[in-house]
A and B are shown apart, each in its own frame.
Chain A
């Protein structure tokens, strides 16, 4: 072979090799930017944003949220629901075509079944748990969750649209209460719980000792929160034994802290609890939660109307947990 021909071959070879490498690198970058948080191997675990004044780096390598059995087929395979979770501001993003997701999907497990209600939804009187895992990947003291509620409405064709800013959406945070602890109480009318340590918009999970992140995937730490939808207003303001209470209180009679905390919150945020068919809310007659008894019957009626508003306006309720790490 002549030198000329060799050079030509090498040039062709180098050219095609270089173009292949370039193609591959470009592909990696494209893949990296679209799956910016899941691309573990081939790009740094960091996303860089820049605005006019500064560059901020988000480090996603310190922890992950994980749901053990993401097999809630009703939701995980329901493109309509996932699309609308996707469209919701700040939500949970689902890339439906590639089946990748930023965020974990779990069920608000309900422990109550009613003989009067045929469908599998929740209703006033329901209660249950929300459980997911945190996997720390670095030295952390705690993870803080910002919690918000939003609703998805239903239409005749089954498509759901976000209704988060509606009156019903605001009502969700008042009627679906969340607590860190509950204690089972035996009773002749079935299982019942007393709740304590209400979660009010944020919840911080503190790792006891240094979290274990020594194996490549990290140790799982389980977060369990307890939710309850009190059926009647008086369950939140009276204690067991009170003649005005026709069912069970959600608070223990000896736990005055939890009950007064919620009652103070109700007074300050009555628009999340009460509804009066679009008219002005009946005012709370008093200065202290001890004054609830002055017109609790009226307030109770408005709480029931709030329940009705939720049931009529909302087809699915979703609780969004947005987590940040504290090192």
Chain B
């Protein structure tokens, strides 16, 4: 029979069909997985996380504005110390370090104690009390030092040896304080700041924080004198600093 059609017998046809199917399937299988590594393109994105900003503030008692922190009214003829309340508050801070820097015109020493607040009457076992009259109309508040262990211990960074009321005038801290000032011979020794640093950072506990990670801690700054006998109207400047710390 004359024919120009290709005639394949049944068995051979099946074999051809199978081969073709297998080849096509193989090609298909090869095609899909290669795209998984082929991720280049016309765009690039550079990405990085941004840290949470930390907020750390110093306030007066009752978390009121720092302008209400009033270190006045010291009468050295009456007793041996006077207490003032301040507050460290903030957000997203888990540890902070307290520092003091002050001039030494008055022969004062300073101590810092962690304080508790109470309204109304003062607990009988309290050690010292400080009265604060709030400016927001709430009831008067009393702050007290819970116990001796609540003192924030620390150390001087630049005191003259043997003294806790006078700063060195010839060390690295002197150079840092007065860098750029040409003639340091004319600096009054009592104007030279004395630096005090807490020994360890204060931890902010989970129970101190609200649901937005805000917290506040009260402290009592105890201004103590021993050698002062009269009110001689000297003035000092004191800096209280709190610094975020990782441990």
Q: Tell me if A323 counts as interface (CB < 8 A to partner B).
A: yes
Provide the residues of chain B in CB contact with A118, threshold 8 Å: 94, 246
How far, in angstroms, from A178 to B10 measured CA to CA in the complex? 72
B4 at the interface (CB under 8 A from A): no
Number of inter-chain CB pairs below 8 Å = 180
For the residues of A in contact with B, the DSSP-based class is mixed
Q: Is the CB of A85 within 8 A of B35?
A: no
Report which of B7, B35, B45 forms a contact with A319, defined as CB distance below 8 A: B45
A125 to chain B minimum Cβ distance, whole angstroms, is 10
Q: From A108, which residue of chain B is reached at the shortest CB distance?
A: B48
- CB of A13 within 8 A of CB of B46, answer no
- Contact between chains at B44 and A65 (CB < 8 Å): yes
Nearest A residue to B24, CB-CB: A24
B231 adjacent to chain A (CB < 8 Å): no
| List of B residues within 8 angstroms of A107 by Cβ | 46-48
A167-200 interface bits toward B, Cβ cutoff 8 Å, 1 = contact, 0 = none: 0000000000000000000000000000000000
Interface 1/0 per residue, B20-31 and A, CB below 8 Å: 110010011001
Q: Mark B233-244, 1 if CB is under 8 A from A, else 0.
A: 000000000011
Tell me if B39 and A104 are in contact (CB < 8 A): yes
The interface residues of chain B lying within 8 Å CB-to-CB of A319 are: 45-47
B contact residues around A10 at 8 Å (CB): 7-8, 13
Report the separation of the CA atoms of residues A117 and B244 in the bound assembly, to the nearest whole angstrom.
8
Q: What is the CA–CA distance of A35 and B33 in the complex, to the nearest angstrom?
A: 12
Contact with B along A61-102 (1 / 0, CB 8 A): 000111100100001000001000100000110000011111
Which chain B positions have C-beta within 8 A of A65?
40-44
Asked if A204 CB lies within 8 Å of chain B CBs, one says no
- Chain A nearest CB from B40 CB (Å) reads 4
Greatest chain A CB density within 10 A among B16, B32, B42 is at B42
Count residues of chain B with CB under 8 A from any CB of chain A: 42
Chain A 1-25 interface 0/1 with B at a Cβ cutoff of 8 Å (1 = within):
1010110011001001100110010
Pair A135/B40 contact, Cβ less than 8 Å: yes
Residues of B within 8 A of A320 (CB): 43-45
In the complex, whether A311 has a CB less than 8 A from a CB of chain B is: yes
Given contacts A116-B244, A116-B245, A312-B53, contact A20 B20 (CB under 8 A): yes
The 8 A-B pairs at the shortest CB distance, nearest first, are namely A311-B53, A121-B51, A103-B43, A108-B48, A121-B49, A64-B40, A101-B39, A102-B41
User: B: which residues have CB within 8 A of A?
Assistant: 1, 7-10, 13-14, 16-17, 20-21, 24, 27-28, 31-32, 35-36, 38-55, 94, 180, 243-246
Q: Which residues of A are at the interface with B, using a C-beta cutoff of 8 A?
A: 1, 3, 5-6, 9-10, 13, 16-17, 20-21, 24, 27-28, 31, 35, 37-42, 60, 64-67, 70, 75, 81, 85, 91-92, 98-110, 115-123, 130, 132, 135, 151, 243, 307-308, 310-312, 314-324
Can you list 21 pairs linking A and B with CB atoms under 8 Å apart? A1-B10, A10-B7, A20-B20, A24-B27, A24-B28, A28-B31, A65-B40, A70-B39, A99-B36, A103-B44, A105-B47, A106-B46, A110-B48, A119-B49, A119-B51, A121-B51, A122-B48, A122-B49, A151-B50, A317-B48, A321-B45
